[in-house]
Structure 1
Amino acid sequence: MTTHRVLTNLARALACALTAVLAAAWPAAPAPRAESAGSAVTVPGPGGLVRGVGHDGYRTFEGVPYAAPPVGRLRWAPPHRPASWSGVRDAGRPASACPQQAGEVPGGSTDEDCLYLNVTAPDDASPAHPRPVIVWLHGGGFTTGAGSSYDAHRMATRGDVVVVTVNYRLGALGFLAHGALPGSGTFGLADQQAALRWVRAGIGAFGGDARDVTLAGESAGGYGVCAQLASPAAAGLFDRAIIESGPCTGRPDRPFAPFAVPLATARAAGADLAAKVGCGSAHDVPACLRRVPVARLLAAQDTGQQPAYGTPLLPLDPAAAISAGRFHHVPVLLGANHDEGNGWAAGIIAAGNPVTPATWPDVVAAFFPAPGQARAVVQEYPVHADDGGPVFGAVVGDADFACPTAGTGRLLAARVPVWRYEFADEHAPPLTPGTPPFPLGAPHASELPYLFDLGGRPRALTAAQHRLADTMIGYWTRFARTGDPNGPAAPRWPRGAVLSLVPDRTAPTGTTGTRHHCAFWDALGRPSGAAQ
């Protein structure tokens, strides 16, 4: 197979693999919750009375507006305050997801009226007895996902916390940049800040402690937490941070982990999009873009979307800000999964791109085109007759997640308390239907079913996995309560060590850097990471 053909096939397969990995963790449709009779619950929200639903031990309030619909002249504008309402607003079902192609959200969405959040609280949470708050930012490559996909009742009840899940603008509608659009390149991040301001102002009525807010997220959501750590505009909006599989030191020359781009790069991409939809030569480009139907924008946007830095909201690349200590100094719980890259590798192989000793050099060259890099990677990660998939997955996972997470942890720990984990259940419930081309172990997003019922449906877990899920929820929520995940009846989590999360074998490990070849990636000039 020629190098050109390998590169072409990999480029096509990569888009498919990205879509599959982002969407595969969610069922085709959410399962309805079992509601108890006479279960209406009404509280005074910031904009008026909202009526939620009482369940067995917890309450949910879904589709609560935190910003005005970003439609018409508010498309590509900073989030505005939502209008208040009279009477009682129904909060018994989720609002529309933000516009996106079909994937995690069945059928996708073209509804721009999407800036809503969802609150899950223990039954006895009240303004008189408030609970710590965890605000969750969903992943999905900044192009897909919805807060309502994360049923948080186990975290709320077992951890005795209030959980808020958030929709924010995605794709070009959230991250397009143009010189005539003030604040552009970061509207999705601005939405996240608007949700945090809503939490500070209004979560008390739902039984949450507005003075005790932890911002958490996974993948692109985790990188959103990184961006908020680095954003001056987020000062005072949260007290702790949890980053899952979204290392703050991601790089733009890798297509897997999230990252930020310079404003000039984002504006060039915005100009390309404007040209694709017929607005490139318009007298008033923003006005022309605001008239383009959502479906056409979604079809024209790139698969990957990134926030822009060099903007008022995000002056510095989060990697640079954290390296320089110019971030909000709050405690951080940070980690990644043992086999982050396996899902992407499996998707690319399943699309007809075998990884064999013969094809391996060309596959590596597709992702490491700098002179000498591909040869060094092939030597460090040799492929034999039957291990091409796991080796490919290890390269992706080590280069783009494990070692950048180590580097992020080292930089943060120089200034704030940091607790690091690695989720390593090699028998985690599969994220994709069917049989993968090789065992996936603990790939990207595989920790999520231990914390949430994705799409409202619990995954099948063994008794040992249920214990691990309870242990993880305990760690996450104690961290949200005190800044320290440790507690009785849980394995000790020392600061400075990486805690390996494995059913019935959770324990600190000192081999993460060696196992993931972080010294090699450091020497190659890859994302900063430290061998441990």
Structure 2
Amino acid sequence: MRTFRRRCVMALPVVLLLVAGAADPTRPVVDTDAGRVRGRDHGAYSTFEGIPYAAPPVGARRWKLPEPAPRWEGVREAGAPGAHCVQLPAVGQGGPSGSEDCLHLNVTAPSGGAGRSGTRPVMVWFHGGGFVNGSGDQYRPERPAVAGDAVVVTVNYRLGVFGLFGHPELGGAPDFALADQQAALRWVRANVGRFGADPHNVTVFGESAGGLSVCAHLTSPASAGLFHRAIVQSGSCSTTMPPRSLLPGLGAYEPFAPQSRTVADGVAAAARLGCGGTPGTPGTPGTLNCLRRLDARTLATPELTQTFSTVSYGNALLPLHPRRALETGRFHRVPVIQGTTRDEMRIFVAPTLAAEPIGGEAAYRARLERSFGAGTARAAEAAYPVSRYPTPAAAWAAVLSDASFTCPSLRDSGALARHVPTYAYLFSDRGAPNFTGLPEVPGVPYGASHGFELPYLFTLAPLTDAQRGLADRMTGYWTRFARTGVPGAAGAPVWPRYGAPGSVLSLAPGPDGVRTVDARAAHHCALWDARWPGVTTAG
């Protein structure tokens, strides 16, 4: 008996050591190329948040291309998101928030795969926000992860003046925001296999500015080999808005601008900030050195944020305007899903009505002429008569939705379809939840507005039973496309390739809500192709 007790006492430290070193199943640990990370288990899925994919772009690294993240010792906590990138509030007043040390990503994986190689598809999400707002952690992707058995990665990237600045001392406008995304894709290629996924089956997807980012990667030589499929949501290469479409003082919106314009804007901005020194002059600091000494809050002003919110082309990352690259077939040969929402522009038009209401047919006609010219205005008024809509403002929103989003997207889909499998959709649920925080405006219900498809792919807002059915179908289409290159969902209609009339998939709740439609005819795309040729003439 005494011997047994002695053996138990001697064994106790070993037992305690084993218990102390045992893995906590609620805190899974995965090795990455920079060190180990500890995430969180949520039952059906695990999350690893705030993982650095590049070195902090601070101090001397401000306005430099992303560099590899430094290694760390021990296990890094990855149980909460990292800081979002410096930005102003998306809605309302307020100063800048966030940090320049923001190049983090978040991984959501079905439980059981972390730490082991696997064959699950990878879906890398680039958030929207006009290249001035947003963060990856705003999107909870457990639906595609669990129901679609996919590993989903959401990414932060530099925004506004920090991500899209240009200046002669930089050699142009290097598009740091897109370069950050490419660095994240390189991280995925090197590390995602340890989260149970296949690094050779990567789908990039995004909405609004995220969709524009995907468009840019389709045409960027530097993105070659970093992804294998692409989903563009409300951000085609041809997205544009006519001049004075929202307010009298606003010019045309083009998300892609020639590098020379961005560089000129950078020179002017530096001078206003008191940093207009002569580059290369011995004994004096260069302009960039001066700008890098400024506090982030000095740079994150509404003026600079808006000025540097367009992606530059004519540089090494984007040699051509992406629209022109698609038209001439100079893009990566991968399958593509691309689509828009039925009422894209309602959420942009409605908040401007207090400043400039559209009181009747005369005001509606004046808006048409102001933005499109007299000839196109007459044709558009015949195709979009006020009598067909609840208010003149709703008619104007329909014009802008078709001219700025839906028809340009279908035009790009036609260019893509000449070379790769392409699938086009139109999100049509006019009862979709408004998760934006923006109040509804009488006379212009948001309906299926810009971004309103997002709660059907991510956990953002409550859905009705019928809407959850649509969410299941959309998740199935998106994730099977990520897995195989062909969208499909159990019990859902076959999604045909884009081409012939009637090959666009309309997405709405209900037993017959998912069906094919002739979207070009329904949205007057022949009119916009013929009457507004400026959208197809970028160099």
Deviation, structure 1 residue 486: 1.8
The residue number in structure 2 matching 1:467 is 469
Q: Is the 8 A contact 1:357 1:383 kept in 2?
A: yes
Map 1:229-308; keep pairs closer than 5 Å. 229-251=218-240, 253=242, 259-281=255-277, 284-299=286-301, 300-303=303-306, 305-308=309-312
Distance 1:366 1:69 in 2: 45
The residue number in structure 1 matching 2:8 is none
Q: Select the residue among 38, 44, 48 that pairs with 2:35.
A: 48
The residue type equivalent to 2:326 in the other structure is I
Q: Report the CA distance shift for 1:86/1:406 in structure 2 as closer, same or farther (over 3 A).
A: same
Q: Is the 8 A contact 2:132 2:305 kept in 1?
A: no
Deviation, structure 1 residue 434: 3.5
Q: Is the 8 A contact 1:219 1:257 kept in 2?
A: no
Report the secondary structure of 1:67's partner residue: coil
TM superposition outliers: structure 1 runs of 4+ over 6 Å? 104-107
Distance 2:170 2:205 in 1: 29
Report the secondary structure of 2:227's partner residue: coil
Distance 1:501 1:447 in 2: 9
Say what the alpha-carbon RMSD is for the aligned residues.
Answer: 2.2
Map 1:25-104; keep pairs closer than 5 Å. 39-103=26-90
Deviation, structure 1 residue 302: 4.5
Q: Select the residue among 306, 314, 320 that pairs with 2:318.
A: 314
Alignment TM-score, normalising by the size of structure 2: 0.86
Q: Is the 8 A contact 2:172 2:259 kept in 1?
A: no
Deviations 1:446-476 (A, max 9, x none): 000111123xxxx121100000001100100
Deviation, structure 1 residue 128: 3.7
The residue type equivalent to 1:499 in the other structure is L
Q: Report the CA distance shift for 1:422/1:328 in structure 2 as closer, same or farther (over 3 A).
A: same
Deviation, structure 1 residue 365: 4.0
Report the secondary structure of 1:213's partner residue: strand
Deviation, structure 1 residue 192: 0.5
Q: Select the residue among 506, 513, 517 that pairs with 1:510.
A: 517
The residue type equivalent to 2:105 in the other structure is L
Q: Select the residue among 113, 135, 160 that pairs with 2:101.
A: 113
Deviation, structure 1 residue 358: 2.6
The residue type equivalent to 1:295 in the other structure is R
Q: Is the 8 A contact 1:137 1:221 kept in 2?
A: yes
Q: Is the 8 A contact 2:205 2:232 kept in 1?
A: yes
Deviations 1:256-291 (A, max 9, x none): 876211111111222232233222356521112112
**Match status 1:342 vs 2:346:** yes
The residue number in structure 2 matching 1:132 is 121
Distance 2:405 2:71 in 1: 43
Deviation, structure 1 residue 523: 1.1
Distance 1:503 1:465 in 2: 5
Report the secondary structure of 1:303's partner residue: helix
Q: Select the residue among 208, 212, 217 that pairs with 2:197.
A: 208
The residue number in structure 2 matching 1:377 is 380
Alignment TM-score, normalising by the size of structure 1: 0.87
Q: Select the residue among 436, 440, 463 that pairs with 2:441.
A: 436
Larger Rg: 2
Q: Is the 8 A contact 2:344 2:405 kept in 1?
A: yes
The residue number in structure 2 matching 1:500 is 506
The residue number in structure 2 matching 1:223 is 212
Higher relative contact order (CA 8 A, sep 6+): 1
Q: Report the CA distance shift for 1:329/1:527 in structure 2 as closer, same or farther (over 3 A).
A: farther
Report the secondary structure of 1:314's partner residue: coil
**Match status 1:327 vs 2:331:** yes
Distance 1:377 1:233 in 2: 40
The range that moved more, 189-198 or 346-355, is: 346-355
Identity %: 46
Q: Report the CA distance shift for 1:128/1:77 in structure 2 as closer, same or farther (over 3 A).
A: closer
Query: What runs of 5+ residues in structure 2 fail to find an aligned partner?
Result: 1-23, 244-250, 280-285
The residue number in structure 2 matching 1:18 is none
Query: What runs of 5+ residues in structure 1 fail to find an aligned partner?
Result: 1-36
Distance 2:198 2:490 in 1: 23
Distance 1:155 1:104 in 2: 28
The residue number in structure 1 matching 2:393 is 389
Q: Report the CA distance shift for 1:353/1:364 in structure 2 as closer, same or farther (over 3 A).
A: same
Deviation, structure 1 residue 292: 1.9
